[in-house]
Structure 1
């Protein structure tokens, strides 16, 4: 079942967010230690008003266990949602976040991170989360859903294309090259 996340889901969801972000989690925070990354993302997952908040997250739960998550929000609010996060890592970890790229923009509901527990991959959970993200966007009145996929991730690219996402353009983001893909809600 897919449901809105709760602050108490942090233990299960934070590793999924970090898994989805990969190296970007360290680039964004300027922190390499896994336990510290977990602390930072847990802190923000449990708070409201930021891009990694539980309020911007859906979870896939089966038999009481969270097996997947989707983090998404209005792309036009990215800078506002990211600000508390960046201020925190600057203050507590002396990070220099002056030149952060924006991965989304106004006019799209942005699917930030989609992740499935490795033990549950290949069961269609990711597809269900993406469909739930599209439904969420539609409910909020959005007409476009966007996401980024690394150019060197052909499996993810195929999945999104099968779900009728199309490449709109290429985007440089935090040192990597990505396909910016969109889905038009009819």
Structure 2
């Protein structure tokens, strides 16, 4: 298993995992109205630089030259800037200048936007490896706090985050769904 920064060539496999991770939020970020429009929309954002869903913000876990897990991270202070291209595209696509991409990250945290492991590789420590790599990345950049959101009913993920030292820090509603906001203070 190899842990590495994502590459543009990972778009196809990473987009499938990303859709698994963000589910309904994918419709909001791509402007898709049908499920078959989601993967091409995610792949398009993935290969473009300077946006929230870009490969530039992602680490992947690879097995036999296939992406089997990913983690997407950025600092909360960058959120407005990296959401702007998505917001502008959605405004154009929907002909609605009032569209705003919902902000998930707090300004003072390194943010785990999304994380997924393919079903065939679940339970093998891949998610833990990816989270630890994100924490190391945050520390290298001098960030002392890392945050994430998790759907309230995802007990397995919630238990993993708690085991790794994340604590509940309130709730957020993103795209009409409730999430727990969790944080961890880094040494």
Does TM, normalized by the shorter one, top 0.5?
yes
Query: In the alignment, which residue of structure 2 is the partner of 1:182?
Result: 183
Query: In the alignment, which residue of structure 1 is the partner of 2:57?
Result: 56
**Residues 1-186 of structure 1: pairs in structure 2 closer than 5 A:** 1-94=2-95, 98-186=99-187
Q: TM (normalized to structure 2)?
A: 0.93
Distance 1:64 1:95, change over 3 A: farther
Distance 2:103 2:24 in 1: 16
Whether contact under 8 Å (2:90, 2:99) holds in the other structure is no
SS of 2:103 mapped into structure 1:
coil
Distance 1:97 1:178, change over 3 A: farther
Give unpaired runs (5+ residues) of structure 1.
none
Runs of 4+ in 1 over 6 A off after TM superposition: none
Which stretch shows the higher mean deviation, 41-50 or 97-106? 97-106
Whether contact under 8 Å (1:86, 1:97) holds in the other structure is no
- Alpha-carbon offset, residue 29 of structure 1: 3.5
Whether contact under 8 Å (2:17, 2:69) holds in the other structure is yes
Distance 1:41 1:56 in 2: 14
SS of 2:156 mapped into structure 1:
helix
Distance 1:89 1:157 in 2: 31
Computed over aligned residues only, the root mean square deviation of the Cα atoms, in angstroms, reads 1.5
- Alpha-carbon offset, residue 19 of structure 1: 0.8
SS of 1:179 mapped into structure 2:
strand
Which stretch shows the higher mean deviation, 151-160 or 98-107? 98-107
Give unpaired runs (5+ residues) of structure 2.
none
- Alpha-carbon offset, residue 99 of structure 1: 4.3
Whether contact under 8 Å (1:61, 1:68) holds in the other structure is yes
Whether contact under 8 Å (1:30, 1:95) holds in the other structure is no
